[in-house]
């Protein structure tokens, strides 16, 4: 085992949209938050996130360094929506007045600019030039948990940020509420940017948001991002395809059915030894996934890697054969977000050779 640390469009008027019932709110409760995660990504309890988004909590904050967090995860979402809603309504009113006063021609555009922007795997230098330009010009940005803090630092000084992230056991907003927010602000004439980690159309539900908005008459522009598979593989020196080694690459979701330990989908042809498998969100289901792949014929000694917080200064990596990977991940306690790469191409990385030498040295020392 080796653990290696990192060396513009105009929309037509949209039809009426019924507000979701979920905006019927429970009473607000708040306590002070003192946790400060070292993660480069936004977290639901991070002080950085609340300081960045405190425009929606003005009536709740007593001190600049405090953040309102309900005492149990089940009530956090209701609390956040209740605290944010008055400010969101006021922002909508300001945007509508601004649009009406300019006849919908402010900056040469009409209402309804929505951009789905991929921010890459974490390193802000991997953003596209177009993504940076759109981020800096946005009026309102709705961002996910896996958008790094360094990327959010690029946001313009007059923009509003709103966290809509999701993680296991905690959804700050339902997908339907995210749809409603995007639609409401687009109709009000805002330049709305939906920030997503990686690429917005790779396991990011960007397709659902685009489809919903288009059905409401809102035109959407997608700005692709470097998906975690290609960004992290490049960081490790792993070619996802390589002549004579891997002639294809396949992206899989490691999500389970109804929160269980069984992978959502593992087809027999996923165990192709001449292909590379990249598993997103697969920490909890990896043991079952590895067994199924081996059962379907993938050699147990297939090289594999797991990468936590890839391309960031906090990156951690484990290299191991497929049969041992889940145990090695448990030993070093890798956390989400972690990407898993399985296939012969992993052995082409110089870090695989390094990890093999380290493993041999450990065996000799025993």
Instruction: Tokens 């749809």: give the residue.
Output: 179
Of 191, 226, 261, the position where a domain reaches its end is 226
Please pick, among 281, 292, 317, 328, the residue that the annotation labels catalytic. Answer: 281
Q: Is 247 helix (H, G, I), strand (E, B) or coil?
A: coil
Q: What are phi and psi of 10, to 5 degrees?
A: -110, 130
Per the annotation, the verdict on 317 as an active-site residue is: no
Instruction: Tokens 């019932």: give the residue.
Output: 21
Residue 85 lies in a domain: no
What is the number of other CB atoms lying within 10 angstroms of the CB of residue 132? 16
CA 130/CA 126 separation, integer angstroms: 12
Please pick, among 53, 144, 199, 324, the residue that the annotation labels catalytic. Answer: 144
Per the annotation, the verdict on 1 as an active-site residue is: no
Beta-ladder partners of 152: none
Do both 210 and 310 map to the same domain?
Answer: no
Do both 122 and 203 map to the same domain?
Answer: yes
Whole-number pLDDT of residue 130: 97
Cα angle value 305/308/313 (rounded, 5°): 120
Residue 63 lies in a domain: no
pLDDT digits (tens, 9 = 90+) for 154-191: 999 888 888 888 766 555 678 898 898 898 888 888 88
Which residues neighbour 70 within 8 Å (Cβ) at sequence distance 6 or greater?
A: 29, 30, 31, 76, 78, 79
For the chain, percent of residues with pLDDT exceeding 90: 46
Residue 187 lies in a domain: yes
Please pick, among 6, 166, 323, 344, the residue that the annotation labels catalytic. Answer: 166
Give me the torsion for CA of 240, 318, 197, 170, rounded to 10°: 140
Whole-number pLDDT of residue 42: 75
Look at phi and psi of residue 281 and say left if phi exceeds 0, alpha if psi is from -120 to 50, else beta. Answer: left
For position 287, which CATH number holds?
3.30.950.10
Which residues neighbour 268 within 8 Å (Cβ) at sequence distance 6 or greater?
A: 296
Number of domains in the chain: 2
Do both 255 and 164 map to the same domain?
Answer: no
Of 173, 254, 159, give the one whose Cα is nearest residue 209: 173
Start-to-end CA distance of the chain, whole Å, equals 14
DSSP class per residue in 293-318: HHHTT--TT-EEEEEESTTSTT-EEE
Which residues of the chain are under the pLDDT cut of 50?
1-2, 4-37, 59-74, 106-109
Whole-number pLDDT of residue 228: 96
Q: Is 327 helix (H, G, I), strand (E, B) or coil?
A: helix
CA 43/CA 225 separation, integer angstroms: 21
Whole-number pLDDT of residue 366: 57
Do both 266 and 330 map to the same domain?
Answer: yes
**Full domain range(s) for residue 308:** 229-348
The helix (H) or strand (E) run that includes residue 95 is helix 73-101
Whole-number pLDDT of residue 278: 97
Residue 27 lies in a domain: no
Q: Do 69 and 45 meet the contact criterion of CB atoms below 8 Å apart? A: yes
Rounded to the nearest 5 percent, the helix, strand and coil shares of the chain are: 40, 20, 45
- DSSP-derived letter for residue 65 is T
Residue 93 lies in a domain: no
CA 337/CA 348 separation, integer angstroms: 24
Do both 245 and 326 map to the same domain?
Answer: yes
Alpha carbons within 13 angstroms on the beta-carbon side of residue 138 total 29
Residue 64 lies in a domain: no
Whole-number pLDDT of residue 108: 44
Q: Do 237 and 244 meet the contact criterion of CB atoms below 8 Å apart? A: no
Do both 150 and 238 map to the same domain?
Answer: no
Per the annotation, the verdict on 199 as an active-site residue is: no
Whole-number pLDDT of residue 20: 36
The helix (H) or strand (E) run that includes residue 162 is strand 160-163
């Amino acid at each position: 085992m080796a653990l290696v640390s990192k060396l513009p469009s105009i929309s037509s008027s949209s039809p009426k949209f019924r507000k979701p019932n979920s905006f019927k709110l429970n009473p607000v409760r708040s306590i002070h938050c003192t946790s400060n995660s070292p993660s480069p990504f936004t977290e639901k309890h991070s002080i950085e996130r609340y300081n960045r988004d405190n425009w929606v909590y003005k009536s709740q904050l007593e001190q600049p360094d405090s953040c309102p967090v309900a005492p149990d995860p089940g009530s956090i979402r209701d609390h956040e929506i209740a605290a944010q809603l008055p400010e969101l309504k006021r922002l909508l009113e300001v945007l509508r007045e601004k649009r009406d006063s300019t006849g919908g021609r402010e900056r040469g555009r009409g209402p309804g600019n929505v951009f789905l922007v991929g921010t890459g795997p974490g390193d802000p230098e991997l953003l596209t030039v177009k993504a940076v330009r759109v981020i800096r010009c946005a009026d309102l940005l709705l961002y996910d948990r896996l958008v790094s803090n360094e990327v959010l630092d690029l946001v313009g000084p007059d923009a509003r940020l709103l966290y809509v992230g999701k993680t296991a056991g905690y959804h700050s907003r339902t997908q339907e509420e995210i749809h409603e927010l995007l639609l409401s602000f687009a109709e009000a004439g805002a330049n709305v940017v939906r920030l997503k980690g990686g690429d917005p159309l790779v396991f990011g539900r960007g397709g659902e948001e685009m489809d919903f908005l288009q059905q409401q008459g809102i035109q959407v522009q997608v700005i692709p991002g470097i998906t975690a598979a290609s960004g992290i593989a490049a960081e490790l020196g792993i070619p996802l395809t390589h002549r004579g080694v891997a002639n294809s690459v396949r992206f899989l979701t490691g999500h389970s059915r109804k929160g269980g330990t069984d992978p959502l989908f593992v087809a027999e042809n996923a165990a192709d030894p001449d292909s590379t498998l990249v598993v997103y969100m697969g920490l909890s289901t990896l043991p079952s996934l590895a067994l199924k792949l081996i059962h379907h014929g993938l050699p147990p000694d297939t090289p594999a890697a797991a990468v936590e917080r890839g391309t960031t200064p906090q990156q951690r990596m484990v290299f191991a054969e497929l049969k041992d990977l889940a145990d090695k991940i448990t030993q070093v306690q890798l956390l989400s977000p972690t990407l898993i790469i399985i296939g012969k191409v992993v052995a082409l990385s110089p870090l695989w050779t390094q990890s093999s030498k380290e493993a041999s040295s450990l065996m000799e020392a025993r």
